[in-house]
Amino acid sequence: MKKRALLGSIALAGLIATAGCNSRADEEQPATAETQAPAAAETTEAAAMSQEPEVEPNGNIIEIQMLTRDPDGSGLQVFKPRLITAQVGDTIRFIPTDPTHQSSSIEGMVPDGARGWEGEINEPVDYVVPVPGIYGYKCVPHYAAGMVGLIIVEGDGMTDNLESARETSHPGLAGGKFEEIFDQAQSEGMLGS
Ligand SMILES: [Cu+2]
């Protein structure tokens, strides 16, 4: 009896210790743990698709770094630069400078006639912008932390999807970040007159 009770409490202690470990790990990286696995599974096909451009690339490449810490500021988990203008046919190249990041276009923030993209974690992405318009994108694991960016592709109809892009809702800090980005685009005249 006594021995059995002792074993029981050891087993229980073991369970508590294990549960403790698990919950600590979950608390540290909830977003990564939840989003990484499905993202990796879903992106294979999309990544393969993104290798086939929708329009002929014009040879111009615009680089955007995926960073855990912005060396020039206090920002954490950022695309740099997070706001750019581009021309149809430009290649937007997302570079995995720091690990654990990727880039995906956001549903509702891609103009009609553009397929969008979905990159894999720790992998570069090349996306050739096919039509003028507003393209919003995110890093899936750090979306709620505000790791988002905007590409404005100039040309006829570039603001056709501006309103719907601005009205897209976002989790956590991303909504506020997009407000900052749109305000900056407006004040710098990147959205036209
Ligand atoms: Cu990220």
Q: What is the pLDDT of residue 75?
A: 82
User: What is the average pLDDT across 142-158?
Assistant: 97
Pair of tokens at residue 41:
């599974």
Domain 61-188 is in which class? mainly beta
Q: What is the pLDDT of residues 111-120, one digit of tens each?
A: 999 999 999 9
Ion ligand 1 neighbours (CB, 5 A) are 77, 101, 139, 142, 147
Residue 70 CA to ligand 1 centre (angstroms):
12
- Would you give the distance in Å from CA 71 to the centre of its chain? 19
CA of 164 to the centre of ligand 1 (A): 24
Question: In the chain, what are the domain boundaries?
Answer: 61-188
In order of 16, 27, 183, the CA distances from 21 in angstroms are: 9, 10, 43
Give the integer Cα–Cα distance in Å for 73 and 79: 12
Strand-pairing partners, residue 134, are 152
Cα(102) to ligand 1 centroid in Å equals 6
pTM as predicted: 0.74
pLDDT at 43 over 80: no
The tens digit of pLDDT for each residue in 82-96 reads 999 999 999 999 999
Average pLDDT value for residue range 69-91: 93
